[in-house]
Structure 1
Amino acid sequence: MPSSTPHFHIVGGGPVGFLTALLIAKEGYTSTVYERNTHIPDNLEESYPLGINPRGLYALAQASSVIADHVRSTGRLLKSLEIWGSTQRYAKIDSGVVYATSRASVNLLLLEAAQENPKITIRFGHKLANIDFGTRQLEFDVLGEAESTTTVLVDASADRVIAADGNHSRVRTSLASHDPTFHVQLTPWSYECRILFGEGFATTKDLDPSIDYVINGCYTCQLTTQNTPRWTCALAVHDHDPASQRALILSQNATPQNISALQTLVKRLSPRFAPLIDQNDLTSFFFRRTFRGSIVKCSHLNHHEWIAFLGDAAHSVIPATGEGLNSGLQDASILVTKCIRSNLSTAFATYNQIRITDLHALTEYALYENAVPIFQGEVLARSMFTILEGALGPTIVESLFGPRAVERKEYGELVRRWRRKKMVILPLCRVVAWPIGVALEVVFRVIALLRRMVGGVVDKEAKEL
């Protein structure tokens, strides 16, 4: 069993891992953070934009008010989120409480604080390879010079292990193969995205830096890299999108044909963003990483008071919820300030008891957002539901992104309220929207048939000539 004054082994050097280490240090305990990469990347172009809401800010302030203040001073205070077609705005969601930044910026800030703390040891280049649950040893593959790899065994039998190793958690996979009572549900995101950066434009008359935009499904916002404001556009492809569009956005070949096709696509999807890019931006796009993950739901977050799961390792969601990093930072705060501080001997079990219902509720909401409908009637019904939801009180988006986010309501409460509205309003919306959707499908198919017929006639005449 873990000792009364254990050392904490934190697997994963991301924002959640480093925040956990900082909070643990404040309680007087020591920790080691194991990160598989040899360093934390400081190239923000390999990261992605996100918003830190009051939930995340509060968790950061638990470790250091300086860190929270730094996020406020360097991030953009978002005035609102606007949803547009090519030329028309369909919705506006006020905020005023969310600070736009990037995952890399937050991680570098927490890393710097952790490196300065004598109670925290950071081991880079340590990739977890295996866990021996009998001896409670952690086995790491350690990357050395000339990319040589050695194996290091860490005795954690008297200590605690915190899994903060992200969406593809090795700790989670190991436990699932060892413990038949530990169940994990993985639902792949319905889309994959890659970020396109615009060069050298801090402002533009067509886009307001204090507003984030969704333009024809493309998330467009300003992000500061190397102290230079730059507009970004997240180009996403869904599983049901045309194969040609998927091949283009996911391609790693910056051919002239691909560059030209990408420019045409951006002009069509996000015309306000299109003037901000040049040939270098279009070329660089094909060499950046793409982002895709899974929605993760764990049956429980504690294993025999030895392992606890936090962040994406415990409950990865999707970017559309805006709660990925914020919920992970809150995990760290709850585990340390409410559980470890109160009773170390039962801290992990208490954390599971406090957190599991909320996180399963957040997963329910994420699964709904991830299930992008193809049928136009369902698309219309969901849009109607989103509009009508506000008639029966604050919407879930307002409670997570808007001024009400300062209340930091539990996910369970917010999702229960949203679920009750959905059970009543969404079926009524479907009664109205589905017949319209069927009619639209018929019209679209007739148009497609006519186009094929006209095309066939043209081809026949061309051959005769």
Structure 2
Amino acid sequence: MEKVTIAGAGLVGSLLALYLGKRGIKVDVYERRGDMRKVQVDAGRSINLACSNRGWRALSGVGLEESVKESAIAMNGRMMHSVEGNLTFQPYGKEGEAIYSISRAQLNKILLEEAEKQPSVDIHFHHKCMDIDLENATARFLDEANQREIQSEAQVIFGADGAFSAVRETMRKKLRFNYQQQYIEHGYKELTIPPTADGQWALEKNFLHIWPRKQFMLIALPNTDGSFTCTLFLAYHGEKSFENLQTREQVSKFFAEEFADVVPLIPNLLDEFFTNPTSSLVTISCSPWQYQEKIALIGDAAHAIVPFYGQGMVSGFEDVRVLNDLIEEFPNEPILEKYANARKDNGDAIAELALRNFIEMRDLVGDPSFLLRKRIEALIQELYPGKYIPLYSMVTFSHICYKDALAIGKRQQKMLDQMLKIPNIENVWRTEAFTEVIHQFIKEFKDAVLLK
């Protein structure tokens, strides 16, 4: 692989260019938008990102883990806010384990800067992908600044151009291509909790704050400037939905009833609500991810997912790392099919996990039986260190394949469902005798729920 074209200079495309550039591969990156380093990024258009172990591993591979962490804020767990304003804390993992909040724009700027430092990488902005010649790995772009068409010839074209990928669309039209997209019934709208008068955070900064309300929710992630980016996830239609929040009075009443404790923290609530867009959430599954050794999809172009596991960017970064590992392992062999085979099932698995986690976040995190389940799991993990890892920790704090984590997690759920049927379990689990109960359950489910 000596010459590559990448469509898309977002997070995944920039990281891919950086990895390939460090190998001395000639890389041309084409991005439809302008250079985000030179223009102000529109507010209200991007969910804050969460980075965890898989993402840090990919960034570490190009020497960026520590510098990016300097621009991130650790979130040690969820802080749930009830309707009455009561707080309940739920740690994400063991002590010291955290996910990190980071600005999408800031991270993208870092990756663009590092990619452009590579002598073999050139990034072209305002270039719209018009068509792909799959057989010859040639891409046709419109230079929108000069209104002229150009051709980019390469050995391989990577589609890193997001959920509505032009590269994928060409594959869909010209190949026997399987494609499915599913919009969930909810959309999202971003709001802002500004810093306090003295420049501090208005809420405890080292948590992901959640206001779970069964069929909808509000979340808040901290930013380094003392603000929080809030995201309201709400159905488009129904009794409590975006369609029924059309006036300032309706919005004021809705927030006063559902999120009373956050209202004083968002002074521009009504203006932001009606200014910031309502955006949709889509899951995309497709195959094949590659055509011969000439075309490959990566990141959202291959597997767009909803954001509820904090793994959208992270799974795309893992795509890049796995691809790089394959290039390293098989330097003189075709690797695109190996890459697709390694990642397709995992892409489907994290898509399923992300949809399931939405239900957990909006419906379950405040439910007593769910919280009891989490406490019991923590106890099992303590009794079987390194052998029993809860699903969330497998996804977030390990490098276990998504598909394996999903399969193990389903078996863990089956065991815990049975455990929670024990009479008076809410009191029994606190007793010393319960340790023996756990050992008996683990003995029965051992091969299914313990890591080898």
Could you tell me how far apart the structure 2 residues matched to 1:374 and 1:396 are? 18
1:10-49 equivalences under 5 Å are 10-40=6-36, 42-43=40-41, 45=43, 46-49=45-48
Structure 1 residue identity aligned to 2:11: P
Indicate which of 394, 399, 419 corresponds to 1:399. Answer: 394
Could you tell me how far apart the structure 2 residues matched to 1:323 and 1:220 are? 17
Query: Secondary structure, in 3 states, of the residue corresponding to 1:346?
Result: coil
In structure 2, do the counterparts of structure 1 residues 382 and 238 end up closer, same or farther at CA, with 3 Å as the change threshold? farther
Query: Secondary structure, in 3 states, of the residue corresponding to 1:69?
Result: helix
Could you tell me how far apart the structure 2 residues matched to 1:304 and 1:211 are? 45
In structure 2, do the counterparts of structure 1 residues 73 and 370 end up closer, same or farther at CA, with 3 Å as the change threshold? closer
Could you tell me how far apart the structure 2 residues matched to 1:47 and 1:367 are? 19
**2:60 matched to 1:61?**
yes
Could you tell me how far apart the structure 2 residues matched to 1:109 and 1:62 are? 15
Contact map agreement 1:54 1:97 (CA 8 A) in 2: no
After superposition, give the CA deviation of every residue in 1:408-459 in whole Å (9 maximum; x if it has no partner): 22212211111223456569989x9xxxxxxxxxxxxxxxxxxxxxxxxxxx
Structure 2 residue identity aligned to 1:165: D
**2:365 matched to 1:366?**
no
Contact map agreement 2:255 2:263 (CA 8 A) in 1: yes
- For normalisation by structure 2, the TM-score amounts to 0.79
Contact map agreement 2:306 2:354 (CA 8 A) in 1: yes
After superposition, give the CA deviation of every residue in 1:393-418 in whole Å (9 maximum; x if it has no partner): 433223334xxx0x322212211111
After superposition, give the CA deviation of every residue in 1:80-114 in whole Å (9 maximum; x if it has no partner): 11233222345613353322112112111101112
Deviation (angstroms), 1:321: 1.3
Could you tell me how far apart the structure 2 residues matched to 1:294 and 1:383 are? 29
Could you tell me how far apart the structure 1 residues matched to 2:238 and 2:162 are? 28
1:59-458 equivalences under 5 Å are 59-63=58-62, 65=63, 67-86=64-83, 87-89=85-87, 92-95=90-93, 96-144=97-145, 149-156=147-154, 159-180=155-176, 182-201=177-196, 202-203=199-200, 207-216=203-212, 217-224=217-224, 228-239=225-236, 241-242=238-239, 245-247=241-243, 257-258=247-248, 260-279=249-268, 281-339=269-327, 342-369=330-357, 393-401=388-396, 405=397, 407-423=398-414
Superposed CA RMSD: 3.1
In structure 2, do the counterparts of structure 1 residues 263 and 375 end up closer, same or farther at CA, with 3 Å as the change threshold? closer
In structure 2, do the counterparts of structure 1 residues 54 and 372 end up closer, same or farther at CA, with 3 Å as the change threshold? closer
In structure 2, do the counterparts of structure 1 residues 289 and 417 end up closer, same or farther at CA, with 3 Å as the change threshold? same
Deviation (angstroms), 1:380: 9.7
User: Which residue is equivalent to 1:461?
Assistant: none
User: Which residue is equivalent to 2:449?
Assistant: none
Contact map agreement 1:192 1:236 (CA 8 A) in 2: yes
Query: Secondary structure, in 3 states, of the residue corresponding to 2:79?
Result: strand
User: Which residue is equivalent to 2:442?
Assistant: none
- For normalisation by structure 1, the TM-score amounts to 0.77
In structure 2, do the counterparts of structure 1 residues 374 and 60 end up closer, same or farther at CA, with 3 Å as the change threshold? closer
After superposition, give the CA deviation of every residue in 1:302-336 in whole Å (9 maximum; x if it has no partner): 21111111111111111111110001011111112
Could you tell me how far apart the structure 2 residues matched to 1:410 and 1:342 are? 21
Structure 1 residue identity aligned to 2:129: L
Structure 1 residue identity aligned to 2:312: G
In structure 2, do the counterparts of structure 1 residues 125 and 53 end up closer, same or farther at CA, with 3 Å as the change threshold? same
Contact map agreement 1:191 1:236 (CA 8 A) in 2: yes
Could you tell me how far apart the structure 1 residues matched to 2:226 and 2:41 are? 14
Contact map agreement 1:295 1:366 (CA 8 A) in 2: no
Contact map agreement 1:382 1:429 (CA 8 A) in 2: no
After superposition, give the CA deviation of every residue in 1:189-209 in whole Å (9 maximum; x if it has no partner): 33111110123324456x210
In structure 2, do the counterparts of structure 1 residues 325 and 375 end up closer, same or farther at CA, with 3 Å as the change threshold? closer
Deviation (angstroms), 1:277: 1.8
Point out the more displaced range, 385-394 or 291-300.
385-394
What is the number of equivalent residue pairs in this alignment? 401
Structure 2 residue identity aligned to 1:97: A
Long gaps (5+) in structure 1: 252-256, 433-465
After superposition, give the CA deviation of every residue in 1:352-390 in whole Å (9 maximum; x if it has no partner): 2222222222223234345799999xx999888777766
In structure 2, do the counterparts of structure 1 residues 230 and 318 end up closer, same or farther at CA, with 3 Å as the change threshold? same
User: Which residue is equivalent to 2:431?
Assistant: none
Could you tell me how far apart the structure 1 residues matched to 2:309 and 2:114 are? 28
Could you tell me how far apart the structure 2 residues matched to 1:18 and 1:367 are? 27
Give the number of the structure whose alpha-carbon radius of gyration is greater.
1
Higher relative helix content: 1
Could you tell me how far apart the structure 2 residues matched to 1:391 and 1:44 are? 45
Query: Secondary structure, in 3 states, of the residue corresponding to 1:48?
Result: coil
Structure 1 residue identity aligned to 2:112: L
Point out the more displaced range, 182-191 or 89-98.
89-98
In structure 2, do the counterparts of structure 1 residues 297 and 317 end up closer, same or farther at CA, with 3 Å as the change threshold? same
Could you tell me how far apart the structure 2 residues matched to 1:340 and 1:126 are? 31
Contact map agreement 2:33 2:127 (CA 8 A) in 1: yes
